[in-house]
Amino acid sequence: MQTYSAVVTTGIYCLPTCGAGPKPENVRRIPIAAAAEAQGFRACMRCRPYRAQQPLSWDGPELVCRAVQLVLDGALDDQTEDVFSARLGMSARNLRRLFNQQVGVTPAQLARSSRTHFARRLLDDTDLTVTEIAFAAGFGSVRQFNRATRDIFRAAPSELRARRRKADRLVADGGLSLRLPYNGPLDWDAMLAYLDRRAIPGVESVSDGVYRRTVVIEGDPGVIELLRGGDDHLVLRAHLPHWEGLIHLVERARRIAALDAPTSEANAALEGDPLLGPLVATRPGLRTPGAWDPFEVGVRIILGQQVSVVGASTTSGRFAAALGTPVPGLAAFDLGYTFPTAETVASADLSDLGLTRARAAAVQNFARAVSEGQLRLDGSQPLEEFMASVVAVPGLGPWTAHVLSLRLGERDAFPASDLGLKRAYERVAPEPTQSLEELAEQWRPWRAQAAAHLWAGQT
């Protein structure tokens, strides 16, 4: 995992790749930037660590790792630490203690640091006003934003913008462009191919190296685009009616391409495996595709049960056209609808969509479970607990639970009964001595990455 170098003699913290050469005895290793800031260190002006994504580690307790992701997703934007900790089944005091021990900051400090870093990148990359940036980053007021930048970066927003480098500013023909940095290799072409094959017509499209989709932000429709930016970042181009809460749109966009997945750690654990090693060496940048909308992906997976990928996409497009909200003026993007909500699907008449009764019932049972809060898609539950809640929904089984978990970023999900995985296993192991499910036990806790390599090995 990436760590930051905090130099006690200068009070500055840096990326590990920074060219500064402090004496080793003066350097502390700190896991995340927020922890360095909580200890009074300020960001280096040479390597600018605020422009890198703060790493998420699976090394600590699973509950803390999930809580960190929820905080970065905005869990503290509209609720207190007391309410948030209760959601995780503990007291706020105990949660703060765990965060201080494992992360080096409280949940509130992590949220503040994340918002301020995001705002600093907007000051560098865009021409948004200070007021627009304050609300885009999730601050409740410009005064809060000013106070945070002075505390963390020792300067007002206007001063920080004056320091930006000429190469920072992104210029686009339309929309707002933002860099999405990532660590480790990324096979963007493989990611695009996966998304293209499973795109929901009218909701998603892929062309000329760009992934596009409709989104709904606080009730208003918009469009986002993801495209290659450089060796260490993608570019997100957003076409939105307003910028409030942009920070959370960016976090969700990152998940589509699994930019925060611990790919390098997974590959290091799997590269010595006699079966997977050659596949990892061939495609080190392969990542398990994620999801913008967990409910949408869940419906897409249910509609894809026991049918071809092409057939599932066709049915999904018909589903979106019938129940989604039309968005005019997007013909140039090959888009036209936003995907329906769980509440809409739960009460809809699905009889005219060409679905079997069993398939229609499964989709509506899933929608009701999500809309009524019986099935949580926010990543707050351990894998086995989440899969049990999926299987408890009538019409959904272990395969659906594993594939949905995999698309939601669970690193140990593994749909061993998947026909594609079985065929891939037979191809790389013509005379297997174990079942795929038995063999996969030795790939824990990185079975999702193993599945991704097996699937990709078929092409």
Just list the catalytic residues: 14, 418
Tokens representing residue 298 in the block: 């869940």
CA proximity to 365, closest of 339, 395, 343, 344: 395
Could you tell me which residues come within 8 angstroms of residue 370 by beta carbon, excluding any fewer than 6 positions away? 295, 298, 342, 377
Q: What span, in angstroms and rounded, lies between the C-alpha atoms of 115 and 112?
A: 5
CA proximity to 199, closest of 359, 336, 352: 336
Could you tell me which residues come within 8 angstroms of residue 385 by beta carbon, excluding any fewer than 6 positions away? none
Q: 211 phi and psi, to 5 degrees?
A: -95, 130
Amino acid identity for residue 256 in this structure: I
Amino acid identity for residue 81 in this structure: E
Could you tell me which residues come within 8 angstroms of residue 83 by beta carbon, excluding any fewer than 6 positions away? none
Residue 168 has a CB neighbour count (10 Å cut-off) of: 16
Contact 147, 109 (CB under 8 A): no
Q: How far is CA 13 from the centre of its chain?
A: 26
DSSP assignment, residue 205?
A: E
- The DSSP line for 375-393 is S--SS-S-HHHHHHHHHTS
Secondary structure (3-state) at 185: coil
Contact 289, 260 (CB under 8 A): no
Tokens representing residue 221 in the block: 């429709």
Q: What span, in angstroms and rounded, lies between the C-alpha atoms of 242 and 133?
A: 11
DSSP assignment, residue 241?
A: S
Secondary structure (3-state) at 42: strand
Q: What span, in angstroms and rounded, lies between the C-alpha atoms of 121 and 178?
A: 8
Q: How far is CA 259 from the centre of its chain?
A: 7
